[in-house]
Amino acid sequence: MSTLEHAASRPDADARPGIPLVSVVIPCLDEADTIEACVSRARAALQEHGLPGEVLVVDNGSADGSPQLAAAAGARVIQEPRRGYGSAYLAGFAAARGEYIVMADADLTYDFGEIPRFVAPLREGAQLVMGDRMDNIQPGAMPWLHRYVGNPVLSGILNLFFRTGVRDAHCGMRALRRDVLPRLDLRTSGMEFASEMVIRAAKEGLDIRQLAIEYRPRGGSSKLSSFRDGWRHLRFLLVHSPTHLFTLPGAALGILGALVMLTVLTGANVLGREWQLHTMIVGSLLAIVGAQVISLGLCAHAYGMYFMGDRDHWFDRLRARFRLEHGLLVGGALFATGLVLAGVVVALWVERGFGRLGEESLAVLAATLVIIGLQVVFSSFLLSILGLRRPR
Ligand SMILES: Nc1nc2c(ncn2[C@@H]2O[C@H](COP(=O)(O)OP(=O)(O)OP(=O)(O)O)[C@@H](O)[C@H]2O)c(=O)[nH]1
Ligand SMILES: [Mg+2]
């Protein structure tokens, strides 16, 4: 194993004698066909542009001799026992010594000659530089499913949820300043690491720049599993955005449920007919599920803010205005209204001499209000519990 370091002293303020300025980190799993060329090209790019640097290859137990080939080509090889693209990068970042880190795959899909173009914006103050492959995908480089479905859909959802402004959020060639790593606090072990970095960078308000690059057909075989890794990305996006996972769908369900129940109760003519008990049951179901999903969403927001360092202005304003007692009052009022309506149904039954009773819709409304009222009361307590140990 060896490290590539140029003794050449540079006038630049960021160069420190004897310490690499740039660490090129390459995750590698069974890439014997291409790893040597990747390491050689990365080293050549650093050398040609007078960038003191090192090339790190992070291996996860390749069975095809990739680590030996990488070491022979001049890389420092790191062995990471935990599997996965994210785990490999986390190990590589921990071992990297350069002020700037350049990331790229070991399959020759990216041009290592671009390293200086990625480093230049970092030296000018950028904190993350993202490659953008979308206008330069060579024939055969990306399967149809990824090009026209997976990438645009996942990048679209990512930007809808997190407004990162990054066009090609899954691009594997990127660069970042090593000193932003503590702020990014990256944790994921799989391919969703690519999304995590972009989302965390946007949440931290980092200076993100984008560079158009080429994407070439890979050598060797792909380690990306379209559906498994696609789902891992989607799952990551959902669990990090309670607004889109819970609050918005919950509000939509709740409002729809309330409208459906109102239609039945007022006997309004909708779509040319009046709606009865079965529709009332559907409305009740929607309203109850909606309330439940919203309360779970509020708890998820609270957890994110108190324990995961999320910043959420919307939830912050809500928290400043509403206390546990407000929740108890609202829940209690709904519960009491439900009980009163249930009492009315019972009174009507008594009045009719305990005979047949046709107040099903009113009974469903009463039950719905009792259920939602109790839910609001207990969710308010849960929110309050989550806030007990929140950081000051
Ligand atoms: N160390 C390590 N590297 C991995 C692992 N999974 C993938 N890699 C490497 O991470 C890089 C990205 O994986 P690829 O299979 O190229 O995935 P991709 O670039 O999204 O898909 P393709 O377009 O098919 O190349 C490659 O250099 C892989 O060798 C892993 O579990 N451990
Ligand atoms: Mg690849």
CATH of the domain at 43: 3.90.550.10
Q: Which of 56, 85, 188, 233 to mutate to test the pocket of ligand 1 (most atoms within 8 A of CB)?
A: 85
From the CB of 58, is ligand 1 less than 6 Å away? yes
How many whole angstroms from 333 Cα to the centroid of ligand 2? 58
pLDDT-above-90 percentage for the chain? 85
Alpha helices in the chain (DSSP H): 35-48, 66-72, 85-95, 115-123, 144, 151-162, 181-184, 193-203, 226-239, 242, 248-266, 277-307, 313-321, 324-351, 360-388
Task: For the chain, list residues with pLDDT below 50.
Answer: 1-11
Q: 169, 154 in Cβ contact below 8 A? A: yes
What pLDDT is attached to residue 391? 65
Residue 5 maps to a domain: no
**pLDDT computed for residue 5 by the predictor:** 42
Ligand nearest to the CA of 221: 1
Atom 22 in ligand 1: which residue has the minimum CA distance?
A: 222
Q: How far apart are CA 46 and CA 15, in angstroms?
A: 14
Specify the pLDDT at position 112: 98
Same-domain check for residues 264 and 324: yes
Final residue belonging to a domain, choices 239, 264, 297? 239
What is the side-by-side order of every strand in the sheet holding 128-132? 76-79, 53-59, 22-28, 100-103, 174-177, 128-132, 208-212
Beta carbon of 106 within 6 Å of any ligand 1 atom = yes
Per DSSP, the three-state class of 325 is: helix
DSSP output for 333-386: HHHHHHHHHHHHHHHHHHHTTT-----HHHHHHHHHHHHHHHHHHHHHHHHHHH
Q: Are residues 220 and 249 in the same domain?
A: no
For the segment 171-181, what is each residue's pLDDT rounded down to a tens digit?
A: 999 999 999 99
Among 20, 13, 17, which Cα is nearest to 51's?
20
Q: Let me know if residue 259 belongs to a domain.
A: yes
Co-location of 50 and 26 in the same domain: yes
User: 278 and 218 in one domain?
Assistant: no
Distance 359 CA to ligand 2 centre (A): 64
Q: Whose CA is nearest to atom 30 of ligand 1?
A: 84
* Same domain assignment for residues 210 and 316: no
Ligand 1 centroid to residue 230 C-alpha, Å = 14
State how far the Cα of 222 lies from the Cα of 192, in Å rounded to an integer.
16
* Ligand 1 center to 217 CA (angstroms): 13
Q: How remote is the CA of residue 165 from the centroid of ligand 2, in Å?
A: 23
Q: Which atom of ligand 1 is nearest to the CA of 80?
A: 1
Angle at 343 between CA 339 and CA 346, to 5 degrees: 140
pLDDT of residue 162: 94
Residue 186 lies in a domain: yes
Q: Is residue 299 in a domain?
A: yes
Together in a domain, 178 and 258: no
Q: Are residues 185 and 255 in the same domain?
A: no
- pLDDT score, position 18: 75
* Number of domains observed in the structure of the chain: 2
Give me the domain span that covers residue 256.
Answer: 242-388
Q: Is residue 17 part of a domain?
A: no
Do 228 and 172 share a structural domain?
Answer: yes
Of 106, 100, 111, nearest to 78 by C-alpha is: 106
- DSSP conformational letter for 75: P
Residue recorded with tokens 């009980």: 339
Query: Do 143 and 256 belong to one domain?
Result: no
28 CB less than 6 Å from ligand 1? yes
- Please give the model's pTM, rounded to 2 decimal places: 0.86
Do residue 254 and residue 278 come from a single domain? yes
Q: Same domain for 168 and 300?
A: no
Among 199, 221, 239, give the residue marking a domain's end.
Answer: 239
In terms of domains, do 383 and 339 share one? yes
**Cβ of residue 172 lying under 6 Å from some atom of ligand 1:** yes
130 part of a folded domain? yes
Final residue belonging to a domain, choices 213, 239, 265 = 239
**Domain annotation covers residue 15:** no
What is the rounded distance in angstroms from the CA atom of residue 346 to the CA atom of residue 390? 46
Asked if residue 192 belongs to a domain, the reply is yes
